[in-house]
Chain A
């Protein structure tokens, strides 16, 4: 497998959706191509960092307006 093919198959490989034969070829390529190894690793980390980062609390003014909108329209208080 050549580098270009690795990039083409990267998503399926990371998602575990790649055909087992191709996945094996890709893994073999990663064994001797440092650049592709880094690309696969950093792409995986890109997904992880977006998944694992907890959001900040709502900005106070956004929270206050949300609470007011709910209280007004639904007739109850938070």
Chain B
């Protein structure tokens, strides 16, 4: 989550009164977070850019409705997530892909764990910032859209299970089971990069994409 601007309340008040500079400063603080979230949900740069623009324009037209009962960033994320989900649904309809709203049947089974490997302390420090970002984006992109969305809303953006369920049109148990699967799948895929003592995925015959 981004750092809270110290004078955020003041900027929000000014933006609500139509002060474009104040609105700009709010957007500047959060635009990269919104773009990254959109990119990770949609898995597509073109869609992510549309989502970013549409969310920012909507935020400007709706700023009068923002009551200040949540953080401005959380309010902005809700708008962006709605836009991103609409993109996903449109694309799913076009491509007849598995829809976000269709339950993925897992019958409540426990996911199988195939690899257990220690990562040591601060495994992320083994990578430069740009490289780490690329790894995280690549790994999350390979999850099913619904798993990506649940993980991003719950773990990265900090929404509650109930809020995520409402935003994704899923039941609370469905959010919980998808979150568990998303976490375990990401963990397993990150083993390749963070596993202690492994040179690369080559040892296990995993194609290297670096």
The answer to the question of A1 belonging to the interface, with a C-beta cut-off of 8 Å to chain B, is no
The answer to the question of B95 belonging to the interface, with a C-beta cut-off of 8 Å to chain A, is no
The answer to the question of B200 belonging to the interface, with a C-beta cut-off of 8 Å to chain A, is no
User: How far in angstroms is the closest Cβ of chain B from A34?
Assistant: 8
Main secondary structure of the interface of A (DSSP, over half): helix
Bound-complex Cα distance A45 to B155 (A): 12
Bound-complex Cα distance A54 to B191 (A): 21
Evaluate contact between B31 and A66: CB separation under 8 angstroms: yes
Q: Which of A38, A42, A47, A57 contacts B155 (CB 8 A)?
A: A47
Residues 45-67 of B contacting A (Cβ, < 8 Å): 49, 52-53, 56-57, 60
Residues of A within 8 Å of B, CB-based: how many? Answer: 36
CB contact under 8 A between A55 and B180, given known A7-B111, A65-B53:
no
The answer to the question of A19 belonging to the interface, with a C-beta cut-off of 8 Å to chain B, is no
Range for the number of chain B residues in contact with chain A: 35 or more
Evaluate contact between B110 and A7: CB separation under 8 angstroms: yes
Bound-complex Cα distance A7 to B156 (A): 21
User: How far in angstroms is the closest Cβ of chain B from A3?
Assistant: 8
Residues 109-150 of B contacting A (Cβ, < 8 Å): 110-111, 113, 116-119, 123-124, 129-130, 132-133, 136, 140
Residues 77-121 of B contacting A (Cβ, < 8 Å): 110-111, 113, 116-119
The answer to the question of A78 belonging to the interface, with a C-beta cut-off of 8 Å to chain B, is yes
Q: Which of A39, A41, A55, A76 contacts B32 (CB 8 A)?
A: A55
Evaluate contact between B117 and A38: CB separation under 8 angstroms: yes
Nearest chain B residue, comparing its CB with the CB of A56: B133
Evaluate contact between B33 and A69: CB separation under 8 angstroms: no
Q: Which of A4, A41, A62 contacts B52 (CB 8 A)?
A: A62
User: How far in angstroms is the closest Cβ of chain A from B179?
Assistant: 6
Shortest 6 CB-CB contacts between residues of A and residues of B: A55-B36, A76-B20, A11-B180, A55-B32, A46-B187, A35-B116
Residues of B within 8 A of A (CB): 1, 20, 24, 27, 31-33, 35-36, 49, 52-53, 56-57, 60, 110-111, 113, 116-119, 123-124, 129-130, 132-133, 136, 140, 151, 155-156, 176, 179-180, 183-184, 186-187, 190-191, 194
**25 residue pairs A–B, Cβ–Cβ below 8 Å:** A8-B180, A10-B183, A38-B117, A39-B116, A42-B117, A42-B187, A43-B184, A45-B123, A45-B194, A46-B190, A49-B124, A50-B156, A52-B124, A53-B124, A53-B129, A53-B132, A55-B32, A55-B33, A56-B32, A57-B32, A62-B35, A63-B31, A65-B49, A70-B56, A74-B20
